[in-house]
Structure 1
Amino acid sequence: MPTATKPSERYAEAQAKRHKAIYDTVWQRINAAVDKDMVTMTPDEAAAYLNLTAAFLNQLRYKNEGPTYLKPGAKTVIYLKKDLDDWLKKISVTTD
């Protein structure tokens, strides 16, 4: 007999499915793009691409510690794939 899942587990499963759907959409757009570095992403898409939560990415942006972003309007934030990749390289740690 299957065990009942807790509401928190159902919520986590729903969030994981949403995250994967956004991630898949981003990669479809990247693969279809002529200039892959110039693909634009919303904060949710950028978070999925970086495998972070959108809340954590927002926090990094607020603290000026995250990737470079564009702000074409008062409430609009856009990330370029190139800037996300550059930020990943910048924060990468190498071991000996």
Structure 2
Amino acid sequence: MKQDIVTYPVILTEYNDELGHYYVVTSPNIKGLVTDGETITEALFNVKDAIATMLIGIKYPKVQDPRKWRLEKDQQTSWVTVNMTK
């Protein structure tokens, strides 16, 4: 069976507020994508499921170059690979 693998850059934003310390993940590539986690590892794990769910049955969005994104001081980028055949 052929694997259907997608890789997208995401933005992790770190928060320390009244809700605690956590990370929110978004991606300009996938409109409406928002998920979170208490750690970077958890947030990146959660975003894999979110990407897979949001891309079911649609044409995959073109991958943008994250070097062109403007980031705030509490943001960083990461690449996420998702196996869409699972």
- TM class by smaller structure: under 0.3
Comparing both chains, which one has the higher relative contact order based on Cα–Cα distances under 8 Å and sequence gaps of 6 or more?
Answer: 2
Q: Which has the larger radius of gyration?
A: 1
* TM-score where L is the length of structure 2: 0.26
Richer in helix (by share): 1
More strand by share: 2
